[in-house]
Amino acid sequence: MAVCTWCDHEMTKAASCSVETLHRGGTTVTMLRWGTERGWHPGGTTSRRCGDCGVAPGGLHHLGCDVQRCPVCGCQMISCGCRFGEDPAEDEGWDDDASTS
């Protein structure tokens, strides 16, 4: 069982995450829906659930999904570097010195 930390739903059973928007620089940013992302064609069809977070076609990916595209830059959201107001502070959970010791 995998529960989304944002919407508290079981990811493989929920039709969608409930997080529809994030915020960046005082602007509301609307999240992209599964199957609408530019350049992403899940196996040639959008009639199946996301292979990572299990969201149904047309639903919102659960935050942290490997497939989710950033609504700002269009790249893979978990690695694009775009920051949102809901993101933890950059020093939370990261130890930049750990890689040098």
Residue 63: burial class (beta carbons within 10 Å; 0-12, 13-18, 19+): buried
Residues 6+ positions from 41 with CB-CB distance below 8 Å: none
Query: What is the per-residue pLDDT for 54?
Result: 87
- pLDDT at site 94: 42
Task: Look at residue 35 in the predicted model and tell me its pLDDT.
Answer: 86
> How high is the pLDDT of residue 21?
94
pTM comes to: 0.74
Which portions of the chain are predicted below pLDDT 70? 1, 39-47, 90-101
Q: How confident is the model at residue 2, as a pLDDT?
A: 82
Single out the residue of 10, 67, 11, 59 nearest to residue 39, CA to CA. Answer: 67
Q: What pLDDT sits at residue 23? A: 94
Measure the CA–CA gap between 59 and 16, rounded to whole angstroms. 4
